[in-house]
Structure 1
Amino acid sequence: MAKFNLFLIVFLLSFSFSPLCLCHKNYGGYLFPQFYDRSCPRLQDIVKSVIAKAVAREARMAASLLRLHFHDCFVKGCDASILLDSTGSFVSEKRSNPNRNSARGFEVIDEIKAAVEKECPHTVSCADIMALAARDSTVISGGPSWVVPLGRRDSLGASLSGSNNNIPAPNNTFQTILTKFKLQGLDIVDLVALSGSHTIGNARCVSFRQRLYNQTGNSQPDYTLDQSYASKLRAGCPKSGGDQNLFFLDFISPTAFDNSYFRNLLSYKGLLSSDQILVTKNPISLGLVKKYAASNEDFFEQFAKSMVKMGNISPLTGFRGEIRKHCRYINKA
């Protein structure tokens, strides 16, 4: 009995002095920030260095890498399925409507993966690299930082249908977009905060043309779009052609991660319909837009929380999935 009591005391003391762990449980596995501390201690420095060089070459790349993580997590979870090229057994998600001629940054992920493989072979997943790249892209653009839980593994396949159906589209209704978020375990606060990522980056003419012209191709006022702003957009986005012409999502500070995106919405200068409906279609989202427009600090704080939450969507952990050697292909048996 005395031995049992001694064992119990030691057991309880071991928990009392254990450090607090920022862990997220998913399907029998855990994500935690220290996952690679021993197996690849220079991982985060390597990712940060490559991101810095890539964004220095092209400021737009920060938004592209952030978007890549978002489009990955909404399809089968955060498993790097978006990075896979087509094979005989599946069609790449790169061919889906939300990604075709739009998703980019794959070569930067390749560059990071090559550097990480040289440092610590067959150790770090492409999914974790994407999560770190999204964080570092935000920070280098002037946005908030957050601690990234790690330990994801890579998928063995892709889902073209999931990519076509699960990713919110620029012309979706507010309720459709909110439903797509809720299906991933995200709420209306996450929806508004994560939409704030549109404070950097670009959108194609084809993504918002319907706001400028009616079905017959004539100008038709959209009263949720400031008409002087609409006139400037029409100059570069004609009623036909120019589908790939690019426009800043936030014309005030297009490469700076800040809350001007929300101020634009309150002035009816949101580029995409999916942006402007945060103000016009729901009183709760309108209240959140006003809150973030008034406080950069509040926006940053919630954005960081929502990014951690999004990055925890159904990760593969434990023995599920694999650690790809090359992010574009599954490992050969």
Structure 2
Amino acid sequence: MRNAVISGTGSYVPKRLLKNDYFNELLGEDVDTWLRENLTIKQRYWCDDDESTIDLCEQAALKALESAGIRADELDQIIISTDTPEYISPATASVLQYRLGATGAGTFDLNTACAGFVTAIDTASKYIIADEQYQNILVIGAYAMSKYLNKTDKKTVTLFADGAGAVILSAEENTDSGFLNAHQFTQGQYHDWMGIYAGGTGCPVNHNVVESGKHQLQFVKKFPKELNPSMWTEMSQRMAKEAGIDVTAVTKFFMTQININSIYEMLDNLGLEKDKAKYIMHKYGYTGSAAIPMALDESFRNGEIKKGDVIFMIGSGGGLSFAGAAFRL
């Protein structure tokens, strides 16, 4: 039976390092203590003025291609999940296809905010399983949210950061490895609670929009704090059941990393130790749709996961969108 397996990974962050004390000075108060004690965040990376989402994608993609041992012209599809695209139109993936020289690849972007990478890897897996023309698909989660931050808004400016993570999915026949199952859910009643609400047709950018700051990221309301832990718990249990395993058999969880305490609560709900999840927010801040593939790449490079292990990837983001995917490596 044909399946989609993870054959390569890569990640990239820009060179501009910002430690918490930068924001103490920027905001004129001590935010470092709260960030470290409540979220574990110590630093993050932001794009310079001449860097953008496509630059992050290109570097992560090159590393993933090297890891998989394939050339760009062997890619059949490129999918980029981002809510900070290079342009409104055309798709960022088409720019990347040109930069990489991936002459045989189709391209598209998708946007389910910070659940985007898991949504994209679910989509790519099903392309490979269903259609023999797809042998290698590049999937990227990319985030350059620093470009959309109000530098005086302490609710957002200290949390969000930039980066990209990439995975190559390849087709294999008669294998026990690869895609196990995936699920997507949305609670659309929360669509207007957090987001970038200007720049589309609902609110085109004009002088008044820019002057009021509506073109930047906005936290309009606080999400119910129990939403992520409860949804992640249910999704984990469902994926484990469909994979025919107990949740304790999962080697590592790769999660949306905006609030470490939500991850802890999910693990408590499942009766699992805290080290069952991979954490990177202490050194990268919150990198949105890039967080999960960045953490996955680091785990591969550090030897924390190996062939035969079962991993769960669970993302959630504005919308409010949820996506989970299970793989056997």
Larger Rg: 1
Q: Taking structure 2 as the reference length, what is the TM-score of the superposition?
A: 0.24
Counting helix residues as a fraction of each chain, which structure ranks higher? 1
